[in-house]
Structure 1
Amino acid sequence: MLRRRVRAGFGGLVAAGAGLGLGELAAALVGGTSPVVGVGTQLIDLAPGPAKDWAVKNLGTADKPILVGGVLFAVAIFALLAGTVGASRPRLAVVLTIGLGVLAILAAATGRTLATNPLTRLLPGVVTLIVATVGIVLILRALGPPPSPRAVGSAGPDETSTDDARPSNPLRPGRTDSEPVPTAGGSASDVPGFDRRRFLVTALSIGAAGAAGLAVSRLVPGGVDEATRAAVKVPAPGSPAQALPAGVSGDVAGVSRFFTPNKSFYRVDTLLTVPKVDPRNWELRIHGMVDRELRLNLADLLDRHLIERDITLTCVSNEVGGPYVGNARWIGVPIAEILREAGVQDGADAVRSTSVDGLTIGTPLTALTDGRDAMFAVAMNGEPLPFAHGFPVRMVVPGLYGYVSATKWIVDFEVTRFADFSAYWTDRGWSVEAPIKTASRIDVPKGFATIKAGPAVAAGVAWAQRRGISKVEVQVDDGPWRPAKLAAEDSIDTWRQWTFRWNATPGNHKLTVRATDAEGHLQTADRAAPRPNGSSGLHNTLVMVE
């Protein structure tokens, strides 16, 4: 019976794998929701806030592949158990497999997804259900019917051992249970009715179909690729960025570059796969508490007055000294101009923007109309937005954490009131409004680095968007706070590099940094976690001097 259970468990894995593989192919062909992505997205949305915070803090950008791996592992365990159960209870194994497919369908039907057509939303899950169910049925049939208790049990004291007393084998007429059943490629130790060759051919055929489906799904052209993105021609901005002042970048190796390269720019979002929106079909709807509803395609935006600005963005999930901050040169259309054209009605105090996957973000209306360079961005560091950063259009709003302002892959822009809606993150315990806090970070030396005794240098960045940085100070151990040298300021919306030179003596030392914004407010030393409106505290690093 043990061999039978092992074979059945293997069959369950094969059937589930085939279902997922062909489900991926269906998703690729119709542009639907991948079964794995659908379940993973639901897990993201249903996860409690502390679990999300832990993942961002401890897993960083690896959280998404780890989640996908976790979903696949859970499916594998479930399929293995379902198959094992099928060794003795085939019908129950089929019911469990159907349940797995129904889960994929429900995840696509109720969760956030890039697919808007109900058919494309549900079809991949339906394919997964059908293939996995048919697969487990075929594999269990190839395994043969479960042996009766008499066939697998030992003879009792009252049972006879004569051939005449033994019942005939219902699976092989004319044979008795005592007779070994010859099988194609089998052995006398296999249970009656089992045909090893048939089982292997069935399992391998089903597995091959699933593997082929998965492989082909990776080759199906999606219609939108890097060539499509690169073909978007962003006109020269009517209001270009000011020339960078001399000395905006320091000369210390290892310090953050003034402009963060696109490939290095942080990405924190809730999507397991990066949307690849077709710019030819993209449209932004501006509606709600406005006098005139507007519908703008990409060409409409590119034909408008474009501005170019240097703006530092910060994620609210960034821990003290963390990596989720970056500076870029953006080109876009001022949001304030769009709002003036639409005509904002009295009483409105917010905008609810929606991403292509259905995620919503709430932004204070004042932050879009008070003169700051809030924009619908179309370019980043001299090229069309990368897919991972919102192509073809995203919001960029200086001075606010991204979860209340930086909607990527935006498709809907509703002028409304905070009293009339709640957004994705505020539903999960984050503050409604979230201005960026004054912060600073030590980039050099890295924590626990070993340096030589004598003249030494520390360097990093500081930021306080909409206020600017006026001073950075560094403390060595418990000594006095001493001023660092600030690089030139580009604008109040960008970070500033700083450099601090000190005499390193042998031993272990702690370096701590703090910043003061241009309004005279000193960065707080009070420690706070990112939730609900951004971390606070002073960044420090330990170095060993020899």
Structure 2
Amino acid sequence: MRTSRAWWPPAGVLAGAGGLATSYAVAELLHVRDSPVVAVAEGVIALTPGKVAKWAIDTFGTDDKLVLILGILAILVVVFGLIGRWAHRRWWAAASGYAVLAGVAALAVLTKPTPSLIDLAPIVVGLLTWLVALALLAEWLRRWELVEDGDDPAAEPMHTRRHFFLVAGAVAAVAAAGGLVGRVASSARRRAEQSRRLLRIEGVTAPAVPDGVVVGVEGVSPWQTPNDDFYLIDTAIIRPTIAPADWELRIHGMVEREIRLSYADLVRREITEDWITLSCVSNEVGGELVGNAWWSGVRLAALLAEAGPREGADAVLQTSEDGWTCGTPLAALMDERNAMLAVAMNGEPLPIEHGFPVRTIVPGLYGYVSATKWVVDMEVTRFADITAYWTDKGWAEHGPVKPASTIEVPGDGADVPAGELVCAGVAWFQHTGIAAVEVQVDGGPWRRASLAATPNVDTWVQWRAVVDLPPGEHLLRVRAVDAEGRTQTGVVADVLPDGATGWHTIGVTAKA
């Protein structure tokens, strides 16, 4: 890269990095949750078809959002490089390129819930940085080019190049400073974490694992899933950070009276607590997107009864702070199940990742139609009048959980001693319960396993069985029987549109 022409694309990339850094810094200084890149990323997620979203979750797991951000940044590097090339001969094309990028970011920000003009400030600052930085770099590149072409014999080549690299260093310093300022100013999460650590909620108790709920087989999932190990599925690139003092819930729509609750109002009410298992609709047969925790909160049935749903209402459209929505059957929120506005998980205030300060928990429903983290709005309505985030992507409108069972011991593909083998795992069917678990070897008869105790029908149950394996390769299958006597189906179905079905099957090799 000894000539000026080779430096036009890097100059575009450097100017682009400076603009991104300053927009990030302004977003953090003004406490705008979505910086332009984040807003665009969440816009991409919102527009992604359901099958593509499922593929991303299956392929990248919890790293899917990181992959998306890296992909957007990679595309921006290419675009910034092209803009740098355009600036060499057609400055208007470079300026137009920046304007298009700013327009895409502005559209992503303005389509978020309750946007304001202040949300556009990071985009405006970023655009101005792009234009000024590239103009300064282009000025010295053009002077360098004149020297190379002999059109400015009085200029010294080394002097001209030195000035270009000085300007490039200054732009790089601005980019680094913007990133540093953004990191220092990023106080929202720190403030939320501090308020969470200091929070004491009257009526919330520490969990005590019930007697008899474990089968005592090493390798089976712990009865209580620790907060740090509980599965995480959400669409937020940057998770909302809400201090309890700033949280408010509005219950409105087809109701006799609108209710607005502050956090203090909520936790002054009677606290209910229970063991509840949550499982994701994206969980494959034998998957790990399931966990069991001790949840504490306020029952939704009482709150909705106070609001007084009107005749004809059959749904509640829940909305998260980040704009995510789901439609929940009104009946499921008002029947005898312990549907709640949860404020604590395993005896501690909710982790931010799991919805602090308040989230919704509804036993017996998949989370995509019920478990709203950072919930701030509940509109009592009708399914005929609404759509929601995942139903717009092809998932079913109603999402009752399906019975499921897994073999956790031994592992798939394991070598085991021939003869008697202990196998074990978990089964769940929230809001109905599990009555029996059956194990099959090589397509033979189904044999009943022994079950551990459970405190209610909303939790998983551990099971244990002993099978006899002669030397050789074997297939083990498991199925559950629910509390109403129905056997878990062996028909294989994908997670889309309303949850996977089929019997979990593993292969083992028994060695003499």
Which interval holds the TM-score relative to the shorter structure?
over 0.9
Letter of the structure 1 residue corresponding to residue 493 of structure 2: A
Contact 1:451 1:543 in 2 (8 A): yes
Task: Give 1:140 deviation, angstroms.
Answer: 1.2
In structure 2, the CA distance between the partners of 1:262 and 1:241, relative to structure 1 (3 Å rule), is closer
What is the match of residue 11 of structure 2?
11
Contact 1:142 1:198 in 2 (8 A): yes
What is the match of residue 353 of structure 1?
318
Contact 1:330 1:379 in 2 (8 A): yes
Task: Give 1:71 deviation, angstroms.
Answer: 1.0
Task: Give 1:145 deviation, angstroms.
Answer: 5.6
Task: Give 1:352 deviation, angstroms.
Answer: 0.9
Letter of the structure 2 residue corresponding to residue 16 of structure 1: G
What is the match of residue 159 of structure 1?
none
Contact 1:446 1:541 in 2 (8 A): yes
1:421 counterpart = 2:386: yes
Q: 1:269 aligns with which of 202, 224, 234?
A: 234
- 1:390 and 1:528 map into 2 onto residues whose CA distance is 30
What is the match of residue 191 of structure 2?
224
In structure 2, the CA distance between the partners of 1:272 and 1:352, relative to structure 1 (3 Å rule), is same
In structure 2, the CA distance between the partners of 1:84 and 1:545, relative to structure 1 (3 Å rule), is farther
- 2:82 and 2:207 map into 1 onto residues whose CA distance is 64
- 1:512 and 1:120 map into 2 onto residues whose CA distance is 57
| Equivalent position SS for 1:491 | coil
- 1:243 and 1:268 map into 2 onto residues whose CA distance is 27
Letter of the structure 2 residue corresponding to residue 228 of structure 1: S
Residues 76-133 of structure 1: CA distance to partner in whole angstroms, max 9, x if unpaired? 11112221333343432232233223322222122x36xx451332111222211122
Matches within 5 A, 1:303-314: 303-314=268-279
Residues 458-509 of structure 1: CA distance to partner in whole angstroms, max 9, x if unpaired? 2211111111011111222222222222111221000001122233444332
Contact 1:98 1:133 in 2 (8 A): no
| Equivalent position SS for 1:266 | coil
Contact 1:472 1:515 in 2 (8 A): yes
- 2:240 and 2:362 map into 1 onto residues whose CA distance is 21
- 2:386 and 2:12 map into 1 onto residues whose CA distance is 45
Task: Give 1:529 deviation, angstroms.
Answer: 1.0
| Equivalent position SS for 1:224 | helix
What is the match of residue 20 of structure 1?
20
Query: Following superposition, which runs of at least 4 residues in structure 1 exceed 6 angstroms of deviation?
Result: 240-243
- 1:241 and 1:62 map into 2 onto residues whose CA distance is 32
Shifted more, 24-33 versus 498-507: the winner is 498-507
Q: Runs of 5+ in structure 1 lacking a partner?
A: 153-168, 174-180, 186-194
| Equivalent position SS for 1:513 | strand
Task: Give 1:290 deviation, angstroms.
Answer: 1.3
Contact 1:87 1:146 in 2 (8 A): no
In structure 2, the CA distance between the partners of 1:504 and 1:127, relative to structure 1 (3 Å rule), is farther
Contact 2:276 2:458 in 1 (8 A): yes
Aligned length: 507
Matches within 5 A, 1:72-471: 72-110=73-111, 112=112, 116=114, 118-144=116-142, 170-172=151-153, 182-184=156-158, 195-220=160-185, 221-222=187-188, 224-236=191-203, 245-471=210-436
| Equivalent position SS for 2:244 | coil
- 1:14 and 1:98 map into 2 onto residues whose CA distance is 17
Task: Give 1:265 deviation, angstroms.
Answer: 0.7
Counting helix residues as a fraction of each chain, which structure ranks higher?
2
In structure 2, the CA distance between the partners of 1:204 and 1:544, relative to structure 1 (3 Å rule), is farther
Task: Give 1:348 deviation, angstroms.
Answer: 1.1
Contact 2:50 2:390 in 1 (8 A): no
Shifted more, 513-522 versus 137-146: the winner is 137-146
What is the match of residue 62 of structure 2?
61
In structure 2, the CA distance between the partners of 1:290 and 1:146, relative to structure 1 (3 Å rule), is same
Task: Give 1:380 deviation, angstroms.
Answer: 0.6
- 1:212 and 1:449 map into 2 onto residues whose CA distance is 53
Task: Give 1:199 deviation, angstroms.
Answer: 1.2
- 2:266 and 2:17 map into 1 onto residues whose CA distance is 45
What is the match of residue 155 of structure 1?
none
Residues 61-80 of structure 1: CA distance to partner in whole angstroms, max 9, x if unpaired? 11111111111111111112
Identity of aligned residues (%): 47
Task: Give 1:60 deviation, angstroms.
Answer: 1.0
Residues 218-265 of structure 1: CA distance to partner in whole angstroms, max 9, x if unpaired? 12222623221122211125xx89975422012222211111111111
What TM-score do you get using the length of structure 1 for normalisation?
0.88
What TM-score do you get using the length of structure 2 for normalisation?
0.94
Contact 1:27 1:120 in 2 (8 A): no
